[in-house]
Structure 1
Amino acid sequence: MIILDPLQPLCALDLNVPENGQFVCSRLAALAASTGASVIVSHHFAKREASTPEQAREAIRGTGGLVDGVRSVYALWNPKEDQAKAICKALGEPFERGRVVMGGVVKANGRANLRVTTFLRDSRGLLVDRSDAVIRARQTDVDLLPDLKAAIARAAAEGKPYTKTGGNGVYERRHELPEAFHAIGKHRLAEWVGTLLDREELVMAMVDGSKLVKWLDVPDGPMASGEAAFVTGHLKRANAGQQNQP
């Protein structure tokens, strides 16, 4: 693999001229052919906003011949601030300018994955694909509340009940919940539990030896009926909560 980063300083040419763009692309193709290597070049956007792959393609600096003369183009662009804030909120992550980046194939000579990818910049500055987490986070309360209620009821029946918050809270133990909940933010999960409590689909119960009403259960569950039986050890779960033998 040969990477030229960025392209402009390597070209003593005006890349706004179509003939120059075609010449540069032909030289890159010749380099790939003579070496047998994949040749990747990075290039900048013009100073304009882009919020779709089509706009990102148009924003690539220079003549359109640069895009037309290569086999594939992948673009990265910053979403609008309100969209970036909504993504961070859905993921339960703090918003920072430039933290959310969108990416996608904007030109391909063959078959390609045309899905727009949502990246989140981590503490090292690396872009991490969080697309699946964003899709799960956008599922509505109506979609996920029944599954959350069922998971809480199952945990109580298995002797490892949840609390709304704290060390046994649904967020702290979210990886025991079905996978759809793993990327849901702390405040959103707490709101969903509050909604189920307001609907009286869940209750908070007190058990022997406790001075706090905190354990979550369905109204007819063992915690709610005073028949709590806590289980020690680690209870494995598979396929969104189905119980295996310990």
Structure 2
Amino acid sequence: MSWEVVMHNFAIAPQALIAFCQRGGHSTSAGTLAANDAADERIPVGRRNAELFKRACVLRRAGMQEEEIGVALHSLNLRLCETALDVNEVRKIARSAANQASPVPSDVPQSSRAERRAFNLKANTADRLFAGTPKQVGWLVHRVFPRGKVVVVASPPGVGKSMLALYLALQLTLPPGPTAFDDVRVCFGGRVESRGCTVIISAEDDLEEMHRRLHALAGGRPMPERLHVASLPDQGHLCVIEGDPRKGMQATAAWLALKEEILGLDEVVLIVVDTLQAVSTGDLNAAEIAQSMMNEFTDLAARTGATVMVLHHFNKDKATDKGGPMAGSNAMDAIRGSSAIVGSARAAYGLYPHPHGREVCEKLGRDYAENSVVVGRIVKANGDARRDETIYIRNEAGLLEDCTHEFLRLQRDDNALLEQELLDEIAKAYGEGKPYAASSTSVNGLHKRRHDMPLQFNDLSAKWFAEHAKALMNAGKVKLIRIGPGSQYIPADATPAETSDAKAIGTEESTVQGKRAVDKKTAKRTKARQTGGRE
């Protein structure tokens, strides 16, 4: 919009418009928002963002667009704030308010609604919007968590996501040194690419528990001054939003105040919300509530340029399914609450107990404990992302320690464990409607599609896959379904009628194989006629 260009040269808003903002709008329901505000009341530092945002939302509900809101806020900022906010910050507040729901009251005529809903499509053409080379994605953790976006980290309770998030916070805030926090930093399975300020919003652990955890993780290093903690058990609980889902949700004053303090920090790269349920106002299965909360986090990520990491839980019933929540590739669906939670996040990362944790510990020479071996992976991503799995083992400090590379080095020689994992991959592909073809030369065969599997399978030969698929069949764990001359691997307890997609894949493969068989028979008969039956 044009006001972004000329923001530094705003005209002063009319006094009537300023009075409108100060009294909370034209209606009595909106007017209660600022009923106690005097015309000359000054807004102190620490409340500027919250108060201006509140007034901007009133203007938005009155039907104003971003440019109009910006003009009004600029005037209010100069007149009422004890120390005026930066012009760019006022612009962000106006944009954030302009994105709020219910922009036009019901008593505004339909013609006026049409006039106000201007998307400027004539000017917004691709040649203007997307000229030149696109900006590269900025990563907090390379190909795992992007900067300036909301991400969700979900797991069953007690797996260790809070400790892993704290460890990432230390990676970001502790200066380089001769420990795990040196220049080669890895967390959540990827390379940590940022340093800066981090905010932990802890809704469950108090300061004493946070102290114990950080002390165990820091390994004797001094506590970092750039790690900021809001402990809600100590400082008072808050909800992010409030209101009636049927009439509209809005941010709470407590959240807006915390949000402003975060916006006042320099170089924030990570904001952790631990946990989503603990700062919710109601049923997260309700799309209106979940979407409103995620909108607040999205706005915070956009305005700070930081990754907002929301810690959440799997549904209890799905998290305890046999084989873990990844069985049948249902991890994304296992995340608790409305689909708006995952849908609003740029990425979702799942942590769940390894289905073969005891075997993993035996291979690594570690003592096994219940739920001590955990698998982590991206279960949803918009754009580029790692697709492999990370294997963690909980150490004495309670941290999930990345043992993936150590495990893979040893695992390549352990055919028994690999065979079990091959069975898991066959079941997973079947559950997704993309079963593996039995032919070793097929594009849908195990060997041809080995790069769809975890890293430990990527360098294995076609012979290895054929031998161990046969071993699984002999053990009664896998069976074949035939469609024409072609065959596919499916779990032994599956029935062919369960997967129509598999039939389609199989039919295509069968057509190719059948054509080859017909061509061979035709060529043989032709040769026989030409030679009079002699070879």
Query: How would you bin the TM-score normalised by the shorter chain?
Result: 0.5 to 0.7
2:351 is matched with 76
How far, CA to CA, are the matches of 1:139 and 1:109 in structure 2? 32
**Residue deviations 1:86-145, cap 9 Å, x none?**
101111111111210110001111101111110011111111111112212222279xxx
2:285 is matched with 16
Q: CA deviation at 1:73?
A: 0.7
Runs (5+) with no aligned partner, structure 2 = 1-269, 416-535
Q: CA deviation at 1:2?
A: 1.2
Q: Residue 388 of structure 2 is aligned with which of 101, 105, 115?
A: 115
Greater fraction of residues in helix: 2
Q: Residue 105 of structure 1 is aligned with which of 366, 369, 378?
A: 378
**How many correspondences in the alignment?**
140
1:67 is matched with 342
1:85 is matched with 358
Q: Do 2:393 and 2:400's aligned partners in 1 also have CA atoms closer than 8 Å?
A: yes
Q: Do 1:56 and 1:77's aligned partners in 2 also have CA atoms closer than 8 Å?
A: no
User: When the two structures are superposed, what TM-score results if normalisation uses the length of structure 2?
Assistant: 0.25
Read off the aligned partner of 2:366 and give its amino acid letter: E
CA separation of 1:51/1:90 partners in 2, compared to 1, >3 Å: closer, same or farther?
Answer: farther
Q: Do 1:78 and 1:102's aligned partners in 2 also have CA atoms closer than 8 Å?
A: yes
Q: Do 1:73 and 1:106's aligned partners in 2 also have CA atoms closer than 8 Å?
A: yes
**Residue deviations 1:49-88, cap 9 Å, x none?**
33428322221111111101111111111123xx111101
Residue correspondence of structure 1 range 76-225 to structure 2 within 5 A: 76-80=351-355, 83-140=356-413
2:332 is matched with 57
Read off the aligned partner of 2:274 and give its amino acid letter: D
Q: Tell me which stretches of 4 or more aligned residues in structure 1 moved more than 3 Å.
A: none
RMSD over aligned CA atoms reads 1.8
Q: Do 2:325 and 2:334's aligned partners in 1 also have CA atoms closer than 8 Å?
A: no
Query: Which of these two proteins has the greater Rg computed from alpha carbons?
Result: 2
Q: Residue 308 of structure 2 is aligned with which of 27, 39, 46?
A: 39
How far, CA to CA, are the matches of 2:382 and 2:371 in structure 1? 30
Q: Do 2:357 and 2:373's aligned partners in 1 also have CA atoms closer than 8 Å?
A: yes
How far, CA to CA, are the matches of 1:79 and 1:73 in structure 2? 18
User: When the two structures are superposed, what TM-score results if normalisation uses the length of structure 1?
Assistant: 0.54
Read off the aligned partner of 1:100 and give its amino acid letter: V
Read off the aligned partner of 1:114 and give its amino acid letter: R
Q: Do 2:301 and 2:307's aligned partners in 1 also have CA atoms closer than 8 Å?
A: yes
CA separation of 1:37/1:87 partners in 2, compared to 1, >3 Å: closer, same or farther?
Answer: same
2:273 is matched with 4
Q: Do 2:363 and 2:407's aligned partners in 1 also have CA atoms closer than 8 Å?
A: yes
Q: Do 1:56 and 1:106's aligned partners in 2 also have CA atoms closer than 8 Å?
A: yes
Other structure's SS at 1:26 match: helix
